[in-house]
Amino acid sequence: MKKLLPISLLAALIHPLFGQVPHQDFLGGGHQVGVTVTSSSSATSTRPHATIDGFPISNEEQLKDASRFLAQATFGADWATIQMAAAMGYDAWLDEQFLIPYSSIMDEMTRHGWYDGSDGEQEPIYHTWFRTAWMSTNLTAPDLLRQRMAYNYSQILVVNDASDEFEDFGQMLAYYYDLLGTNAFHTYEDMLLDVTFSPMMGKFLTYYDNPKANPEENIHPDENYAREIMQLFTIGLWELNPNGIRRVDSTGAYIPTYDQTDIDEYAQVFTGLGSGGIEPDLDPEDEEEEEAYNRFLLQQFTQPMVMNPDLHDESEKVLLNGVVLPAGQDGLADIEQAVHHLVMHPNTAPFIVWRLIQFMTTSNPSPAYVTDVVKVFDPTQENNLEEVTRAILLHPEARRCTPTEEYTFGKLREPQVRLMNYLRAFPIHPNEEGDYLEDLYDFRLHTGQAPLGAPSVFNFYLPEYRPQGPIGKLFMYAPEFQILTSTNAIGYINDLNYRLLEDGVLYGFDPEEEDEEDEDEENGEEDEEDYENLYRIDYGPQEELLASPEELVNHLDILLANGQLTATTKQIIVDAVAQVANEEDALRMAIYLILISPDYVILK
């Protein structure tokens, strides 16, 4: 066993700056820089909740609730962030997060030189580079809420890198993901339009350069996007009530939302979109780099598709509910009106809201919960998705005080979220070059998950999946259980074991070693030197907690498990930690046992 990383324990985590951004929301607690003081008058603009006394929150129940809130809203939080959310209040915390600009994945790729070739490489931009940039961004970015929402939307508006066709298109994946992050707090119509014009979606659902019909040559518009924009991105298969429950006809049968005729009409709408042109950022005539011209051409996938009038079907289209797009209309107008019509359909709000709630708080929201959020899903209002996000997180059903006592509430934390929970809970330091490098290649093999890595447009799991056993017998949903196979469950445990207990090395990726790694894989070999310490976790100086395994486990329970560990689970971990002589090993063992415990894996 290699030597573990040097550590000192967790007491210094209370005062580090939250989110790496200046706070303008309250006074005290280190927020004394650049403040504006108002007089103690009766002015209604004063916000009483925006002042605190500067002392750490010590109420355990308050900290547990803040930790739970952040588990629903983000990829995870360190102790300082939990303290801050508890002190600020959740409304104020959300207000602050809504104002933080999006941290771009493409910008991270450019910073490394992987996109523009400034690293001296002009070869294709591998999909693993996207995942490495995603990890680097999400380990350090201050826009915690926006990044989590981008990830949630990436599991609704699904594309993937599973096909060999996309292995060399990391920049297209990054561009697409950035669209979701940028639009996360705008309107759903803005987001869906950007997705529709994105080359990644055009390639993935095969309407890139989609031609109009030519019966004489047996050419017909591709139907993929026409089908999926209805089935998966807006209205779903069945008519819904505002509470998300399916409507039935007079015979008690479910009512379908569309048929093949509707697919045919929408397929005509989505014709004519293709390459958006070339940016002048790269030199295609770099004679020293044989791949320079290829990379130059790949830039067309980092800007919206444009309309080719010669390929667009200009005939009349009759959409759902008899809405007509007139013949001879401009292709862009056809698409914008068709998308608007779908977003405004009464099914779209409950269909999208129900799925967002499943990703964030509970797999089985009550009809009242869905209805309340649907009421604020108004596509005509600017920044409407802000209010949708707020309504989901602050709804009484999500914020009630006794969630652990309600067996119908909660969800299984998916593997990617569990990994990020762990990594974001502790200070993380870059490697010697100042980078955070991990491409999630092995993690994906172990758990079946990685960003934009779903096996199909239907995501990693279906929203209405019911596992066999007690959950299925109660007719409840548990989507994430669909990827909780025996292989993936053991793979997650083994992955954490390697990270935490073996030698502290995290699975990493260095672009400079890519060619050597590919050669090793072809030869059936694995070069252990490629797995370097490509970033480092600092578990913090809290030696005094190690003196009491009970206090250590209580602290980690709040930090990682949102205070959900049962007394039995705590005692098992305390007993295990007490038997480990080395302090570093004891701390890692405690973290490991919490992260694989059922009490943690289910978020209540």
Closest CA to 94 of 144, 35, 34: 144
Q: Is the Cβ–Cβ distance between 488 and 446 less than 8 Å?
A: yes
Q: Is the Cβ–Cβ distance between 353 and 246 less than 8 Å?
A: no
- The share of the chain scoring above pLDDT 90, in percent, equals 66
pLDDT at residue 34, as a whole number: 42
Please provide the DSSP assignment of 218-267 as one string: TB----HHHHHHHHTTTS-SB-B-TTSPBPB-TTS-B-BS--HHHHHHHH
pLDDT at residue 542, as a whole number: 54
Q: What's the angle, vertex CA 150, arms to CA 495 and CA 97, rounded to 5?
A: 105
Local confidence band at 45 (pLDDT 50, 70, 90 cut-offs): very low
pLDDT surpasses 50 at 515: no
| Range from 281-290, 409-418, 569-578 carrying the lowest mean pLDDT | 281-290
Closest CA to 377 of 357, 400, 360: 357
pLDDT surpasses 70 at 521: no
**Token code pair at residue 204:** 């993935």
3-state secondary structure of 169: strand
Higher pLDDT, 113 or 198: 198
Domain locations in the chain? Answer: 198-233+258-276+303-344, 234-245+345-410
Local confidence band at 584 (pLDDT 50, 70, 90 cut-offs): confident
| Range from 162-176, 269-283, 552-566 carrying the lowest mean pLDDT | 269-283
Closest CA to 457 of 229, 295, 272: 229
Q: Is the Cβ–Cβ distance between 420 and 75 less than 8 Å?
A: yes
pLDDT at residue 296, as a whole number: 55
Give the mean model confidence (pLDDT) for residues 134-151. 97
Q: What pTM value is reported for the model?
A: 0.87
Local confidence band at 301 (pLDDT 50, 70, 90 cut-offs): confident
Residue in this structure with the two tokens 């701390």, named with its chain if needed:
587
Extract long-range pairs of 463-472: CB within 8 Å, 24+ residues apart: 463/354, 463/355, 463/358
Local confidence band at 511 (pLDDT 50, 70, 90 cut-offs): very low
pLDDT at residue 166, as a whole number: 82
- Which of 26-35, 273-282, 557-566 has the highest mean predicted lDDT (pLDDT)? 557-566
